[in-house]
A = this chain, B = another copy of it.
């Protein structure tokens, strides 16, 4: 007696697909069979011949619980994730007060997350210039021992609770993280350049949206990535460029890989689809993120990077804010609005619509950039990111033909805005299953409310 059978599942095998039935027992994939004749299960979900992917992974989210009560929390954030076919997120350490850079903070974060999340999650560890200066570097190994999957470093600060590093402090972080064998993800923008040109543009009286992208320019990211590559080469650390925004960045990471340097990168949906001139003009603060949106040329270079492997996988940098208080209130300008946009709900649909369906990405590459590669990179594979016998029974069922339009009013995120608003897509998540439990069903506009307490309990408490 299986717990679940997913019937008529078309599953990816390389660039091919195969029609099969997926057996689930005790939260794991128990098998694939061409016929369910004779097999019994407590529950049957009929995929009706749609593509069934391994559950997607968003390895870069900012759930902003304690200290930021009016922002995205684990309830709204995880609901948004599963609506996007995401079965695992990996959350950043920066958006709490205090930030999550010790075992004590990690324990506190897990307590809060476990009580609220409907999506499985892993955690980023943190290390800052303050840790270097104060002699707190022992926290690095302790966080690693506790189970974080990577460490985040900010060259340019995004939130006041998480101090940036100077160049030598970053080098010290690389040395320390290298010992753990875990990746070190850097927010790669040259601080002094960002600071200087933002102030210069402010002094010049620029108040338009595009000013944000022009002030935090491509060169600031380029030289930051070059510095990261040199530090990775010098220390042996596993450099990862989080939310890389520029095409030149993809080129640099691709070249570094060829030279044998352990360097990886991620793109985000907005860096594949939006150009700053249009998006910042139209959406202003609601399209404000850091690094900023770039040009159409960068969009194309990122698609190319996804194809040729210089970009390893997708993530979202999901960081939505309360629209009224932080984006549109009286006195809010492009300079003081908080940078951040939602992402989890639309990442996979965009890759499927604009990548797979338009022929930019092959099927196997689609699986890699949405699921497999991040899972491998963060040590969660093949429990996550794989569709093997024994893997967690996490799935995203996708209707490749369904056309729809992005509308923030129908999203689960608390924020109510997205610069992708109005984008027409072809391909939609119709069901998300985590460890054998259906957590999102498009037909029912979400299924969480319908789950029993026991069912809900089964899909939380799962810090990998």
Within 8 A of B (CB), among A225-241: 226-227, 230-231, 234
Interface centre among A35, A171, A389 (most CB of B within 10 A): A389
CB contacts under 8 Å to B, within A11-30, are 11, 13-14, 16, 18-21, 23, 25, 28-30
Contact call A389/B34, Cβ cutoff below 8 A: yes
The 8 A CB mask of A194-210 against B (1 = contact, 0 = none) is 01110000000000000
Given contacts A166-B192, A168-B193, A389-B32, is CB(A13)–CB(B382) below 8 Å?
yes
CA of A40 to CA of B388, assembled, Å: 22
A interface, over-half SS: mixed
Please determine whether A34 and B34 come into contact, CB atoms closer than 8 angstroms.
no
A230 near B223: Cβ-Cβ < 8 Å: yes
CB distance from A86 to the nearest CB of B (A): 21
In the complex, chain B residues whose CB is within 8 Å of the CB of A29: 34
Contact with B along A273-287 (1 / 0, CB 8 A): 000000000000000
Best-buried of A13, A39, A231, A386 by chain B (most CB within 10 Å): A13
- Distance, CA A171 to CA B390, complexed state (A): 52
Name A171's contact: one of B169, B193, B382 (CB within 8 Å): B193
| Cα A34 to Cα B39 with chains together (Å) | 13
B25 touches A390 (CB 8 A): no
Given contacts A31-B34, A33-B31, contact A13 B386 (CB under 8 A): yes
Contact string against B for A residues 34-65, beta-carbon threshold 8 Å, 1 for contact and 0 otherwise: 11001110000000000000000000000000
Number of copies: 4
A322 at the A/B interface (Cβ < 8 Å)? Answer: no
Query: Can you list 23 pairs linking A and B with CB atoms under 8 Å apart?
Result: A13-B382, A13-B386, A13-B389, A14-B382, A16-B386, A18-B389, A18-B390, A20-B31, A20-B390, A23-B33, A23-B34, A25-B35, A28-B34, A30-B34, A30-B35, A31-B34, A166-B192, A167-B192, A219-B230, A222-B230, A223-B226, A223-B230, A226-B230
Q: Which residues of A line the B interface, CB within 8 A?
A: 11, 13-14, 16, 18-21, 23, 25, 28-35, 38-40, 166-169, 171, 190, 192-193, 195-197, 219, 222-223, 226-227, 230-231, 234, 381-382, 386, 388-390
